[in-house]
Structures are given as C-alpha cells and as structure tokens.
Amino acid sequence: MIGLQWGDEAKGKIVDLLTECHDVVVRYQGGANAGHTVVTGGQTYKLSLIPSGILRSGVQCVVTGGVVLNPPSILGEIDGLRSRGVEVGGNLLISDRAHVIFPWHMVEDRLTEGAARNGEAIGTTMRGIGPCYRDKVGRANAIRLGDLYRADFRERVERIVAHKSRIIAAIAGDQPTGQDADRLDAATIAADYEQYAERLRPHVADTTTYLLDTLEAGRRVLFEGAQGALLDIDHGTFPYVTSSNSSGVGISSGAGVPGRYLNRIIGVVKAYGTRVGGGPFPTEQDNDLGQHLRDRGNEYGTVTRRPRRCGWFDAVAARYTARLSGVDTLAVMLLDVLSELAEIKICTAYEIDGRRVTVFPSQVDDLRRARPVYETLPGWRQEISHVRALSDLPPNARRYLDRLSQIIGRPVEIVSIGADREQTIQAIHDSGVDE
Ligand code: IMP
C-alpha cells in the first residue's frame, strides 16, 4: 500500500481496513516524520512508527531495517498504546538493522534548514530523519539498533559526539543551534540510549529473516508505505523530498523482501492535492478554495501540525507514481471533502514553456514552471458521508471517480467518505487480483 501524492493520503485508515485480511503488517522506510491517524470503535489513535496493525489482536507488526528509529519516540508510542489498553509485546518486532536517530541528527536537521537560502528550505519535519539517513550512507558515524548492545557502544558515542560537535560548531556560525546542541554530552547520551535499548530489547529481531520465513510459509503480509511516492528520494520532486524510497520501489530494499513476493499493490490518493513543506505544487490553490479544503479536510500535519498546502487533484503526477509503484488498484480518500463545491478540477496535463506535456518532469525546475491544464467536472453539492455503496453516490461523484480512474489507468477499489472505518465504499468486491 503506497501513497501516490506528497504524503498524508489517509493511508492509516486503509492499512487498518486491510489488516483484517493479513497476518503481518510491515513498516519499511522513513521514521517518526510520518503520522497515521486511525479512528476505530469511536477512538482516535495517532501512530507514527508503529504499524496501525497493532490495534488488532493476532496481527504481527514489524519495523524493518529500512526505517530510521528514534528510541524515545517509539517508546513514547508504546507507552501511549499500553496506557489505552493496547497490547504491545511480542506482536511488535523491530529490526536490529534499523539506523538510530540521535540528538545530533535533530541539531543537524535544524542547522541545514536554517542555512537554506532563497526559499530553498525543504521544510523538513525536523525529526533528524535526513541526517540519520546521511550517516547511514556515510557509514563511519552510523549506529544501528543492534550496535546499542555492543560493548564498544559508549566509546562509539564518544567518538561520534566529538566529531559532530566540531562539525556543528563549524557550520553553525552565528546561527542558533538550539538547546539540544548544548546537551551533546556523550556520557549522558550513551546512558540514555542504553536505557532505551534495554526497554526495546524484547522487540529487537532480525526482521529480514523473519519476513523471508513468513513469506515462504505463505502467510499474508501487508507492507505499509509512509509519506508518498512524490517524496521518494530517487523518483520524487528532488530535492524537496524525504530521504527514503517512499514509492513502491522502496519495499524490497527497505524490508529485505524480493519483488517476487509483492503480488498486489494498492495506490492511495486523496480526492484533491496537498503538500506540506517546500517545493513546487502546480495545482496549489493558495486562496479561499485552498482554505476551504484545509478546513473541511482538517489539513494540518499529524506530526508537526503545520497547515498543509491544498489544491486540485494532479492526475499527471498520480499517473506517474501509480506506474512507478506498480499499482493495481486505487483507494480514493476524503471524497466527502469535495461535497460542497459547484465544480471540481482535475489537472490532466502541464504546459511548460508553451509545450503541453503529460509526462511528469524529472527536473524540479521544469515542475516549477509547469502550468496546470485543467478539466472541469460538475460537483455534487450534497453530503455523502453516510453512503455505503457506489451506486448510492451522486452521479457526479461517480463521474469524478471514473475520470480519475481513467486518467490514472487503474480501477478504483476503495472510496473513503469519512474518517471512521465504517465510512468506506468497496468499489470492487472482487478485484480479480491474487492476494
Ligand atoms: P523529512 O522527511 O522530515 O526530512 O522532510 C522532508 C520533506 O518531506 C518535507 O517537505 C516534509 O514536510 C515531507 N514529509 C516528511 N514526512 C511526511 C509525511 O508523513 N507526510 C507529508 N509530508 C512529509
């Protein structure tokens, strides 16, 4: 299951629904930059790193080595779930290969963003995600979860803190480094992380082998993508992206699972567009319409509470990411948010330097110059949150779904018309695709 836009496609709800027919749910990239909201049994749960499968008994949740892990943050999630009576024990496995986020990563995130000039800031979530992935690729200063249990852990932290402190001082100049920089004390950090490690110990496992065994045994595994495919480090709107492979291509490397096991991919889209952070967004509506979508859709970041930028559905981008992620069917979320509009637009092409294009540009400068070419459809102007069957949707709502499906080239399998699990329309009852 992959988000096909810039994240925040309400994937948490889809994962929750799909979990019903899976034995294992896997989170395989990103970190606590993601946030999932799941509404079930009248209760709202906000999860970040832990797969929402944790809310169902009998489901095994796995956080793989492709993820970057902030120990206090995941421990906070575990405590929060337990305090609400949710069991978190052997049903949560965390890879010993996952790279660990340390306080210096947060400081580096802030400094990099603070130093960005001329509107070039990425607008990160400041969770230290990028700097941690950078250290993973650089190797010399990286620490994986398994390393927290090694005898030389303290020594490693001391060496890295000395190194990072020099770098931070050099690049900070007169920039404020924030409180955390003053707290880069190796002994304190090592002691804190040893405590976190002890608390996490029951969950730590070689999840690559676990997943290979599980798949070979024919069990049903759901891979839950975080962020959205347009934020993919290699295939998204670089450099305004996150630092992991958030499109479908990231499943194999992030989880350590060969592509041959991926037999059905659901692409999740919101019925309109949103983006949080910097970077081009051709269909953005920085006007009353954008504000209307933000209000109706409660478009404020789950993690940072930042107001999301809102706009029309960009079918050029969604068609690209559906192909990139090998999507079989679509889940269209938040359709109810469009209910009050007299007409609705879909971006079907871009005009770049006078040329009409339907291929998503590989260069961010081209995307910046792209002017959306819209197709206008009539709205339905009636509430649809109570609808449970496709045939009960107003004809114009069905027309809108059909047109999205046609342009993206994939059938719509699920339509969501409200946050609750019940507010869901199964558009295809038998998709004809093996699970
Ligand atoms: P980072 O992942 O914190 O480095 O942020 C990089 C970019 O990805 C920024 O534009 C963030 O706003 C965006 N981003 C990261 N995680 C999410 C998410 O879960 N939803 C939407 N945008 C995200």
Evaluate if residue 162 carries a pLDDT over 60: yes
**How much distance in Å is there from the Cα of 30 to the middle of ligand 1?**
9
- Among 155-159, 164-168, 209-213, 357-361, the least confident range: 164-168
Confidence of residue 432 (pLDDT cuts 50, 70, 90): very low
pLDDT band at 222 (very low <50, low <70, confident <90, very high): very high
Residues 151-168: what's their mean pLDDT?
96
**Ligand 1 contact via 231 beta carbon (within 6 Å):** yes
The pLDDT, as a whole number, for residue 113 is: 86
Q: Is the pLDDT of residue 8 over 70?
A: yes
Separation of alpha carbons 382 and 394, rounded Å:
8
Residue 176: predicted pLDDT: 64
Does the beta carbon of 48 lie inside 6 Å of ligand 1?
Answer: no
What average pLDDT does the segment 86-113 reach? 96
Helix (H, G, I), strand (E, B) or coil at 426: strand
pLDDT at 282 (0 to 100): 98
Q: Does 36 qualify as catalytic in the annotation?
A: yes
For residues 177 and 339, the model is more confident at 339
What average pLDDT is seen over the chain? Answer: 93
Instruction: Give residue 295 CA to ligand 1 midpoint distance, Å.
Output: 21
Which residues are paired to 347 by β-bridges?
314, 374
- Model-level pTM? 0.95
Atom 9 of ligand 1, nearest CA residue: 124
In ligand 1, the atom with minimum distance to the C-alpha of 30 is: 2
pLDDT (mean) for 28-32:
95
* 122 in contact with ligand 1, CB cutoff 6 A: yes
Q: Binning pLDDT at 50, 70 and 90, where does residue 172 land?
A: confident
> Mutual orientation of helices 315-324 and 395-408 as an angle, nearest 10°?
50
* Cα dihedral 296, 302, 306, 312 sign: negative
Pairing relation of β-strands 309-311 and 273-275? antiparallel
Catalytic residue among 22, 36, 99, 105: 36
Q: For residues 411-418, give the mean pLDDT.
A: 97
Q: How many CB atoms lie within 10 A of CB 419?
A: 20
Distance 241 CA to ligand 1 centre (A): 7
